[in-house]
């Protein structure tokens, strides 16, 4: 390498490239394969004398766990976790091979570059540097590389929490993906979004029943018609904005820095200050319910006796009841409402020694950076760990160019991470782990 990178930084860059070059695609419905990349991670740990356990939760669905003992094992430990699987990539849509891990225009390109093999590389590089130098962190660190995060974590965090809970005994906090990255807002202020809350999930099936019959007859009890009206009511509904503890802190800071007005009942005008981040943040100021699937009929001239739809509902912390009652009301008395999938919402306090260490680590390498908590519209493996009482944050630090639409890169075409951002991130992460 050139550019005078340190050994830690060079290792991180190379690890990120090599991780990308091992396809670990998760197609959903149990069809995934993390075995090769898990074995690579275990080998890279063994290379510097760190023992790990490969845990297979299903055919080729492999997790990696390693414990790094700290100087004070009486303290509750910290879980540092990432996931090894990535979503599919259609190579024809990309300008580069999505699994080549090339460096081009100052970026490492490839599927998983931001979700989340960049953080996996930072984790590996940090503990490898410790092992090489003989450094011992202040508290126990549990290093976990999960399988299956992209399809519900059935073979990953949820499996380990259910079947191997003893692994996490003595650990009280966790850090992982989708946080600690910079977003440049109006006025040139550089905020670092630290994920402190996540929306919950309710996937709901709607079913309408009616009279089956010939398509040429008048049918006032048409299941498709009834379902269509219900779906339209739900899809068109304007959900009221709700202030959460985390969301309130986030938007108050935006208003303070930009000189704009903060109104808890309508923060939407503040979204204009955060660029591409508004795509996700706009979904975190209210509950959402998006119709995503429709199914009815089997022939053009036959009116079916039933019709169904699936709605992807997402609720803010403390507002699940509003989601459920509103969808039932909008659906109407004639529509059956069935819960298909549910997952909890999370919200943790943006305070305490771990948060103070995050802030300090960012400010050491970017004195002008402003860490702020935010609500994530999706979810991470921290949800599974919360079942064991473990408090989790999203903190995979990156300093990003002001004009980069970072959120568009998640699961997107030409996914890439800036090399300079990765170098910044591994230094921040190492500093955090050595001071928390």
Extract the tokens encoding 219.
Answer: 């049918």
Strand ranges inside 95-232, DSSP E: 103-104, 107-109, 141-146, 171-176, 181-184, 190-198, 200-209, 213-214
115 and 222 within one domain: no
Q: Last residue of some domain: 316, 343, 370?
A: 343
Please give the pLDDT value at position 407: 87
The position carrying tokens 């068109």 is 236
Q: Is the pLDDT assigned to residue 1 strictly greater than 80? A: no
Q: Last residue of some domain: 294, 314, 343?
A: 343
CA angle, residues 143, 193, 200, in degrees to nearest 5 = 75
Please give the pLDDT value at position 192: 98
> Shortest CA distance to 285 belongs to which of 255, 327, 243, 250?
243
Residues 382-406 have a mean pLDDT of: 96
In a domain, 210, yes or no: yes
DSSP string across 296-351: E-SSTTEE-SEEEEEEEEEE-TT-HHHHHHHHHHHH-TTEEEEEEEEE--EE--S-
Residues 275-303 have a mean pLDDT of: 95
In a domain, 259, yes or no: yes
In a domain, 83, yes or no: yes
Dist. CA 402–CA 200, nearest whole Å: 30
Dist. CA 168–CA 233, nearest whole Å: 45
> Shortest CA distance to 427 belongs to which of 13, 2, 3?
13
Q: Last residue of some domain: 314, 343, 372?
A: 343
318 and 211 within one domain: yes
CA angle, residues 114, 245, 380, in degrees to nearest 5 = 30
Q: Is the pLDDT assigned to residue 132 strictly greater than 70? A: yes
Dist. CA 36–CA 39, nearest whole Å: 5
293 and 161 within one domain: no
Question: For the domain that residue 62 is a member of, what is the CATH number?
Answer: 3.40.630.10
211 and 148 within one domain: no
Residues 184-194 have a mean pLDDT of: 97
Q: Is the pLDDT assigned to residue 133 strictly greater than 80? A: yes
Buried b (16+ CB within 10 A) or exposed e, 52-71: beebebeebbbbbbbbbebe
**In percent, how much of the chain has pLDDT > 70?**
100
Q: Is the pLDDT assigned to residue 117 strictly greater than 60? A: yes
- How many domains does the chain contain in total? 2
Spell out the residues 6+ positions from residue 63 whose beta carbon is closer than 8 angstroms to its own. 34, 38, 54, 55, 56, 57, 84, 144, 145, 146, 147, 155, 156, 159, 160
In a domain, 154, yes or no: yes
Strand partners, 198: 346, 376
Dist. CA 82–CA 395, nearest whole Å: 11
289 and 323 within one domain: yes
Reported confidence tier of residue 350, pLDDT bands at 50, 70, 90: very high
428 and 388 within one domain: yes
Residue pLDDT, tens place only, 17-66: 999 999 999 999 899 999 999 999 999 999 999 999 999 999 999 999 99
Dist. CA 383–CA 379, nearest whole Å: 7
In a domain, 373, yes or no: no
For residues 79 and 168, is the Cβ–Cβ distance under 8 A? yes
Distance of CA 97 to the CA centre of its chain: 24
Question: For the domain that residue 222 is a member of, what is the CATH number?
Answer: 3.30.70.360
Spell out the residues 6+ positions from residue 292 whose beta carbon is closer than 8 angstroms to its own. 310, 311, 312
102 and 60 within one domain: yes
207 and 324 within one domain: yes
Q: Which residue has the higher pLDDT, 312 or 3?
A: 312
Domain that holds residue 269: 199-343
In a domain, 349, yes or no: no
221 and 100 within one domain: no
327 and 235 within one domain: yes
> 53 by DSSP, 3-state: which?
strand
Q: Specify the pairing of strand 53-58 against strand 61-68.
A: antiparallel
Residues 205, 211, 212, 213: is their CA dihedral positive or negative? Answer: negative
Q: Is the pLDDT assigned to residue 320 strictly greater than 90? A: yes
In a domain, 357, yes or no: no
Residues 73-79 have a mean pLDDT of: 95
324 and 255 within one domain: yes
Strand ranges inside 377-415, DSSP E: 391-394
113 and 49 within one domain: yes
**pTM for the whole structure:** 0.93
Peptide bond connecting 116 to the previous residue in cis, omega within 30 degrees of 0: yes
Q: Is the pLDDT assigned to residue 3 strictly greater than 80? A: no
Strand order through the sheet with 288-296: 288-296, 306-315, 200-209, 335-343
Reported confidence tier of residue 2, pLDDT bands at 50, 70, 90: low
Spell out the residues 6+ positions from residue 31 whose beta carbon is closer than 8 angstroms to its own. none
Please give the pLDDT value at position 310: 97
Cα radius of gyration rounded to whole Å, the chain: 23
Dist. CA 386–CA 359, nearest whole Å: 23
In a domain, 386, yes or no: yes
Strand partners, 295: 308
Please give the pLDDT value at position 268: 96
């Amino acid at each position: 390498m050139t550019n005078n990178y340190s050994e830690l930084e060079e290792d991180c860059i190379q690890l990120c490239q090599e991780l990308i070059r091992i396809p670990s695609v998760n197609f959903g419905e149990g069809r995934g394969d993390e075995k090769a990349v898990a074995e690579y991670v275990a080998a890279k740990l063994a290379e510097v004398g760190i023992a790990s356990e490969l845990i297979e939760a299903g055919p080729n669905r492999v997790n990696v766990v390693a414990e790094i003992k700290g100087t004070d094992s009486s303290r509750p430990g910290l879980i540092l976790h990432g996931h090894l699987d990535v979503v599919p990539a259609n190579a024809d849509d990309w300008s580069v091979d999505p699994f080549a891990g090339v460096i081009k225009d100052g970026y490492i390109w490839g599927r998983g570059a931001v979700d989340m093999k960049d953080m996996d590389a930072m984790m590996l590089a940090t503990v490898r540097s410790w092992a090489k130098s003989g450094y011992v962190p202040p508290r126990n660190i549990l290093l976990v590389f999960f399988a299956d995060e992209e399809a519900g974590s059935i073979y990953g965090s949820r499996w380990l929490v259910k079947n191997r809970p003893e692994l996490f005994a003595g650990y009280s906090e966790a850090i992982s993906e989708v946080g600690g990255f910079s977003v440049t807002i109006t006025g040139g202020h550089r905020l670092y979004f630290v994920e402190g809350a996540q929306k919950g999930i309710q996937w709901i099936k709607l079913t309408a029943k009616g009279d089956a019959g010939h398509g040429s007859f008048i049918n006032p009890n048409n299941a498709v018609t009834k379902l269509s009206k219900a779906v339209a009511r739900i899809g068109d509904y304007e959900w009221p904005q709700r202030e959460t503890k985390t969301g309130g802190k986030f938007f108050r800071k935006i208003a303070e820095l930009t000189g704009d007005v903060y109104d808890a009942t309508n923060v939407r005008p503040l979204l204009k200050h955060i660029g591409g981040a508004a795509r996700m943040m706009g979904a975190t100021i209210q509950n959402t319910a998006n119709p995503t699937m429709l199914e009815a009929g089997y022939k053009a001239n036959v009116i079916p006796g039933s019709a169904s739809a699936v709605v992807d509902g997402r609720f803010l912390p403390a507002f699940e009841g509003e989601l459920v009652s509103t969808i039932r009301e909008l659906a109407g008395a004639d529509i059956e409402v069935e819960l298909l999938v549910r997952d909890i919402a999370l919200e943790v306090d943006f305070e305490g020694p771990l948060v103070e260490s995050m802030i300090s680590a960012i400010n050491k390498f970017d004195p002008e950076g402003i860490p702020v908590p935010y609500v994530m519209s999706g979810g991470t493996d921290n949800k599974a760990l919360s079942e064991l009482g473990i408090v989790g944050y999203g903190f995979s630090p990156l300093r990003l160019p002001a004009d980069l639409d970072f959120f568009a890169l998640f699961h997107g075409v030409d996914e890439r991470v800036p090399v300079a951002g990765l170098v910044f991130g591994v230094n921040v992460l190492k500093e955090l782990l050595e001071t928390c």
